[in-house]
Amino acid sequence: MIQVLNKIGLVPTVLNIEEKDIIIASINKDRVFIILSINKPEELREISYYIPGLKKVILEKVNSKNNLELADERLIPISKILWDIYIIGVHKITSESASFNQSDISEIQRDRFVARKIIIQYNDNDELEKLLYNVICPEKKLNELIGSIDPPLEINIQDILESSYDYKKIFNKDVSEITIEDLSSFVDILSKDLNKN
């Protein structure tokens, strides 16, 4: 699991709580991830009771050299007091351990006491890396998806006006003289026409 988190770009800290290894990692000084392997969904709820006692460790993690940014010493960065805490339970699906019941997963994930709870079920480390990446770095995934889309078609308002309506009757002016206010009126006219049909 540590190697998977390192690939994602996190610097994890491993703690042992109730004979269970949990991993604490932070990103952007305001999101704290507590990650552990689980055998049943309820383990996420159980571990959430220990989070208030982890305040010191979380503070150290949030303020680690990897996460510090220069700030005015007179100001308290909002990330010092407001954290988004996520407890992520990862469950490897094997022949001995089947996947969890979806209703059990939903019940746990709706429980926002102390932290947001997320359950990830996976078959191999590649799948785990992909799923963790999507949860931990959604903005990077979104940027990748947006970057993969072909550039959108350029919309030429003049073509739209000329093809859909006789704009001179509507605006009483040439296309080059049409303003935003005129377009707003045009949208109103279009919506009235659509509502008639």
Q: At 62, list the tokens.
A: 């949030």
**What percent of the chain is modeled with pLDDT above 90?**
23
Contact by Cβ (8 Å): 88, 135: yes
Cα diameter, the chain: 79
The DSSP bridge pattern shows strands 13-17 and 31-37 to be unpaired
In the chain, alpha helices (H): 2-8, 42-48, 55-62, 102-110, 125-136, 138-148, 157-164, 167-171, 180-196
The pLDDT, as a whole number, for residue 4 is 87
| pLDDT at 3 exceeding the cut of 80 | yes
Residue type, 8: I
pTM given for the model? 0.64
- If you average pLDDT over every residue of the chain, what do you get? 76
Q: What is the mean pLDDT of residues 12-39?
A: 85
Measured CA to CA in angstroms, residue 169 lies from 38, 60, 148, 175 at distances of 68, 68, 42, 11
Residue 67 has pLDDT above 50, yes or no: no
For the ranges 11-20, 34-43, 181-190, the lowest mean pLDDT is seen at 181-190
Q: For position 41, what pLDDT does the model report?
A: 94
Distance CA 126, CA 71 (A): 38
